[in-house]
Amino acid sequence: MNASLKLLIALVLSLEISVTKSISLNIILVAFSFVYVIWHRPSWKQFAYLFFIPLLPAFGSWSSLYLYGTGDHIHMAWVMFTRIFAYVWIGASLTMTTTTDDLLTSLEQNAKLPSTFVYGMLGAFNFIPRIGHELNTIKISARMRGEVLHFWSPQIFFKAILTSLNWSTNLSQAMTSHGFAEGAPRTHYQTIKIPSWNWPVSFVIIISSLAYLIFSPLR
């Protein structure tokens, strides 16, 4: 499915469950997201993260509402527990099946996101692997001067910000030298089109969740 439509569906479903109190809908969304993610064959490590990382915030929300809530607190405790898992699995169905490049490129071509923003974000994401290397360089340089820097030391962040400013200048010059002009019309080496079947599928998913909230006795 097209990355822009997947993002749209994820945002709409997340908004729906954030303003409703349906436990069953949360469970259904987790189940469908689970199947979708499994279909794309994630690694066992990613799969374990999706199960165990949400447990702590989900249990924290559940216990605070279950033990100290008022009114319909037991129902709300389970709503919050399942809602956190629903958020995580809906997000995983987007992030684990779509690359950053595909999403940003699709948003530029299909959602008309400004090219300056898209290519700036692509440049920033491509710099992420270099950040760890740069932090290690800063630590080693400080150690050669007899100074030990920890991850909470403000000097690291100050030096990292200065380095990032230098990178941003280099990135801007590189884009300009490759013919990038802000606001100018662009052609694309790879044109991303939304397949015709994506629209009815997206419509059915969104309408089905709304219809479930309105008509299901389990809501």
State pLDDT tens for residues 75-134. Answer: 999 999 999 999 999 999 999 999 888 999 999 888 888 888 888 888 888 888 788 888
* Mean pLDDT of the chain, nearest integer: 86
Residue identified by tokens 């569906």 is 9
Instruction: List the structure tokens of 197.
Output: 């079947």
- Grade residue 42 by pLDDT with cuts at 50, 70 and 90: confident
Distance, in Å, from the CA atom of 45 to the CA atom of 157, rounded to the nearest integer, reads 30
Q: Has residue 72 got a pLDDT over 90?
A: no
- 218 pLDDT band (50/70/90 cuts)? low
pLDDT of 202 higher than 60: yes
Backbone angles phi, psi at 25, to 5 degrees: -65, -40
Question: Which residue blocks in the chain are alpha helix, DSSP H?
Answer: 3-18, 23-39, 44-52, 55-68, 73-95, 100-110, 115-144, 154-177, 198-215
Query: pLDDT class for 59, splitting at 50, 70, 90?
Result: very high
**pLDDT computed for residue 201 by the predictor:** 93
Residue 32: pLDDT band (50, 70, 90) is: very high
Write down the H helix ranges in 145-182.
154-177
Q: Is the per-residue pLDDT at 205 higher than 60? A: yes
Report which of residues 170 and 90 the model is more confident about. 90
Work out whether the CA dihedral 22, 27, 28, 29 comes out positive or negative: positive
Listed in sequence order, the residues at least 6 apart from 40 whose beta carbon sits closer than 8 Å to its beta carbon are 96, 97
Taking the C-alpha atoms of residue 118 and residue 120, their distance in angstroms, rounded to an integer, is: 5
Q: How far is CA 172 from CA 119, 124, 158, 186, in A?
A: 10, 11, 21, 17
% residues pLDDT > 70 (the chain): 99
pLDDT tens digits, residue range 13-23? 999 999 888 89
